[in-house]
Amino acid sequence: WAEGLSAGTVLLHGWACAGEIALCAAVEAVLRQSPLRGMVTPGGQRMSVTTASCGDWGWVSDRRGYRYSAVDPDSGQPWPAMPDPLRELARGAAAEAGFAGFDPDACLINCYLPGARMGLHQDKDERDFKAPIVSVSLGLPAVFLLGGLRRADPSARILLQHGDVLVWGGPDRMRFHGVQPVKPGCHPLLGERRINLTFRKAR
Ligand code: MD5
Ligand code: FE
């Protein structure tokens, strides 16, 4: 069911469950071409989340900063194409949430092993903030922190479970957000990890 969390945020509970087998197979195929790696932040810390990408643009981070790159810096090759089941899932979820015509050119794959977390931040490396962001949670559950437009604003805690899809846009696009440390556990399809797919219009 669709749950409106605020003006521009919709949580589609279990939206990705119907096609979960094909979806996870497509993700695994991408990860064979573009392996997960721990990115280093401009501050020199290695992120606890490991990351890969597919689509025309991949989000990367190193000592020089955060940016979108057309090539995988580890291989020097273009990122793997965005598999159709992933693109269609993102487009369908965006349309359901009121953002018809969403055409993502970047899919970031974040992998959380137990203990991995993501600190509070805004997504502002994209060129166009008018497009929404679609986030698909797979595997172990996590508590997502949905903050406000200022870092100091209080955060709501939202449990994201396997198959949940969150869509943000409009007035909520620039909210601060993060993920609390993932608790140990074992998911029947993905084992001891949480995988998050983040679809964006980077360019
Ligand atoms: C995750 N990833 O669970 C999250 C899901 C990231 C990231 O945050 O940057 O890789 S995406 C959540 C998101 C994106 C854009 C806006 C908002 C949340 N929001 O306004 O809350 O790995
Ligand atoms: Fe983010």
* Residue 13: per-residue pLDDT: 98
| CB 136 less than 6 A from any atom of ligand 1 | no
> What's the pLDDT tens digit per position in 154-199?
999 999 999 999 999 999 999 999 999 999 999 999 999 999 999 9
Joined together, the tokens standing for residue 192 give: 């001891």
- Pairing state of beta strands 133-139 and 194-200? antiparallel
The domain that contains 144 carries what CATH number? 2.60.120.590
Regions of the chain with pLDDT less than 50: none
* Residue 63: per-residue pLDDT: 97
Work out the percent of the chain whose per-residue pLDDT is above 90. Answer: 98
* Residue 50: per-residue pLDDT: 98
Tally of domains in the chain: 1
| Integer Cα distance of 111 and 90 in angstroms | 18
In what side-by-side order are the strands of the sheet with 118-121? 118-121, 177-179, 142-146, 156-160
Q: State the closest ligand 1 atom to the C-alpha of 173, by its place in the atom list counted from 1.
A: 20
| Integer Cα distance of 80 and 100 in angstroms | 25
The domain of 61 spans: 2-200
* Residue 155: per-residue pLDDT: 97
Q: State the closest ligand 1 atom to the C-alpha of 179, by its place in the atom list counted from 1.
A: 3
Quick one: which of 25, 1, 155 has its CA closest to 84?
25
| CB 197 less than 6 A from any atom of ligand 1 | no
- Phi then psi dihedrals of residue 23, to 5 deg: -65, -50
Cα 110 to ligand 2 centroid, rounded to whole Å: 10
| CB 123 less than 6 A from any atom of ligand 1 | yes
In what side-by-side order are the strands of the sheet with 2-6? 2-6, 9-12, 165-168, 133-139, 194-200, 106-112, 46-55, 37-40
* Residue 128: per-residue pLDDT: 86
Cα 142 to ligand 2 centroid, rounded to whole Å: 14
